[in-house]
């Protein structure tokens, strides 16, 4: 199974980003992310054996219990790579919980990607020659109240994402604090 942990966007944020994605419509080289698939990847796991699924779900629930809900903000757009011919056009995301969750997942599971975590939402990928899209400025915010473990299946027309489980952010106790027998009772 090809898996990743992610935060998906509420409908109103998807709609706002869909309007921004219209800027790439005139260029055949850019392929916009379908609005219902817009998400912020916390950690890409790649191919994992099905036998690991229970542990990955348990980790998601444990982090959800220790992470309080937070507010996410989108302010503007950028490119990967920033120099030369970009392959990805993204919206920059801010929110203290994004980095906390990504680092906690990396600490537990490792990450083969040595690049630092940069919270973003991929708006479009470049599949061929196409010009850069002018910058877009956002003033969007939303409450992040959950994250998810997602299965990604690569198909000819693009990836299909299936949310395997959602993990509510509750922040019941301090981050890193182990849950004792009294709390479970």
Task: Give pTM, 2 decimals.
Answer: 0.89
- 73 noted as active-site residue: no
In residues, how long is the chain?
185
**Set 39, 61, 73, 173: catalytic member:** 39
Predicted confidence (pLDDT) per residue in 7-47, tens digit: 999 999 999 999 999 998 888 899 999 999 999 999 999 99
Residue 65 DSSP SS3: helix
Predicted confidence (pLDDT) per residue in 120-166, tens digit: 999 999 988 888 888 999 999 999 999 999 999 999 888 999 999 99
Q: Please, what are the domains in the chain?
A: 2-168 (3.90.1140.10)
Q: What are 89's strand-pairing partners?
A: 79, 124
Q: Tell me the C-alpha distance between 119 and 42, whole Å.
A: 8
- 36 noted as active-site residue: no
**Set 36, 61, 73, 120: catalytic member:** 120
Which is higher by pLDDT, 1 or 114? 1
Q: Tell me the C-alpha distance between 55 and 70, whole Å.
A: 25
**Mean pLDDT, the chain, as a whole number?**
90
Residues 6+ apart with CB under 8 A from 51: none
């Amino acid at each position: 199974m090809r898996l990743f942990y992610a935060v998906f966007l509420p409908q109103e944020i998807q709609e706002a980003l869909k309007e921004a994605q219209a800027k790439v419509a005139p260029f055949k080289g850019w392929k916009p992310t379908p609005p219902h698939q817009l998400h912020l990847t916390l950690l890409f796991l790649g191919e994992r054996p099905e036998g690991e699924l229970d542990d990955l779900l348990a980790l998601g629930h444990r982090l959800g219990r220790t992470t309080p809900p937070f507010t996410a903000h989108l302010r503007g757009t950028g490119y990967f790579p920033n120099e030369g011919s970009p392959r990805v056009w993204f919206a920059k995301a801010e929110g203290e919980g994004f980095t906390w969750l990504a680092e906690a997942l990396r600490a537990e599971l490792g990450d083969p990607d040595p690049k630092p975590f940069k919270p973003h939402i991929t708006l479009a990928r470049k599949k061929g020659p196409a010009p850069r899209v002018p910058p877009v400025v956002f003033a969007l915010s939303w409450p992040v109240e959950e994250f998810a473990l997602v299965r990604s299946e690569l198909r000819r027309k693009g990836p299909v994402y299936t949310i395997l489980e959602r993990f509510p952010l509750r922040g019941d106790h301090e981050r890193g604090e182990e849950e004792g027998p009294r709390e479970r009772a």
